[in-house]
Amino acid sequence: MQLYNKLSAEERAQIIDKNSQERITLSFYKYFNLGNPLMFRDHIFIKWSKMDVLGRIYVAKEGINAQLSVPKESFDRFKQSITEIVPLKKIRLNIALDHYSKSFLKLTIKIREKIVADGLDDLSFDVTKIGEHLDAQKFNQMLNHGNTVCIDMRNHYESEIGYFKGAIKPDVDTFRESLNRIDEELKKNGKEKNYLMYCTGGIRCEKASAYLKHKGIKNVFQLEGGIIEYTRQVKEKELENNFLGKNFVFDKRMGERISDEIVSNCHQCGNPCDSHVNCDNESCHLLFIQCNECKEKMNSCCSEECKETIKLPYDKQKSLRRGKRNSHKIFKKGRSTKLKFKIN
């Protein structure tokens, strides 16, 4: 029984290039009661591996959260396999705006405590009691309502390159920190406001809206399908687009262009730019925004120190990495003194 990837990422990339394989990038999530996450993980790994599905999936007793890349020729078969899983039968697939064949190069399915870490221990918290879903047209109407507080439920490095007009963009590193900011907004604005939330594909808003309901807020709304579905509907129905910039995505594309505005800057020179990269020094791997000029000047690194490190023999670089662990804290806004032009 195969429960591992037979090909390395490099081998997979070579095959995709050689066959000029067209792939569809998509995401989906579903909160439901899953009795045996381990058995479920094994089942979908075996089933989807046979279809050459790649990507990252989190499975927990509360449901599933998936970002995937599926061969175009296998897409219908994949959709059929989804309908055969009863809780996922009517699930909406968020299809990416731009498709990159190498957005994922392995299939990874991890069992987690929760599909979205929230830091909540309150047993009375019910994730199924959520706010009202709004389509793109109704979201625009609510966004422009005078009594609305719109909150971006994403992390700072996501909202830095794109956001909805007038939205509050918490300077946070994790979703659980966002919930703390919700509490602050409640104290500031009171319970009578319309609380409108959005995120990339909807999963974080699902839990955040339930959290607000748990707090006793009546007027809770969320963007159905997130920014991805909003953009599709705006184009399809020719609606006003209230999103500025790029939508950050968690694959090798790093972002999807939603509007022509560039709302961020290169962290090294300060010029307008909204292209995220990871530092080429593997012992650093810092996520930051870098323009093409700085990329060439700095050899795709975040600092002179890292620029010198990647010149060393590979074995020496490997020895320098030994014992070090990259932390999610590398995403923290303003944390790195290496970046001269990282602004709020």
Beta-carbon contacts of 131 under 8 Å, excluding residues fewer than 6 positions away, are: 195, 197, 205, 209, 210, 212, 213, 220, 221, 222
Contacts by 135-140 with C-beta closer than 8 Å and gap 24+?
135/224, 135/233, 136/223, 136/229, 136/230, 136/233, 136/234, 136/237, 136/239, 137/233, 137/237, 137/239, 139/196, 139/198, 139/221, 139/223, 139/230, 140/239, 140/240, 140/242
Q: What is the DSSP string of 245-306?
A: EEEE-SSTT-EEE-SS----B-TTT--B---EEE-S-TTT--EEE--HHHHHHTTT-SSHHH
Q: Which of 199, 205, 273, 301 is catalytic?
A: 199
The answer for residues whose C-beta is within 8 angstroms of residue 26's C-beta and 6 or more apart is 67, 68, 69, 70, 93, 94, 95, 96
Sign of CA dihedral 37, 43, 48, 53: positive
Q: Does 266 qualify as catalytic in the annotation?
A: no
- Work out whether the CA dihedral 270, 276, 282, 285 comes out positive or negative: positive
- In whole angstroms, give the CA distance from residue 104 to residue 55: 5
Task: Show which residues are catalytic.
Answer: 199
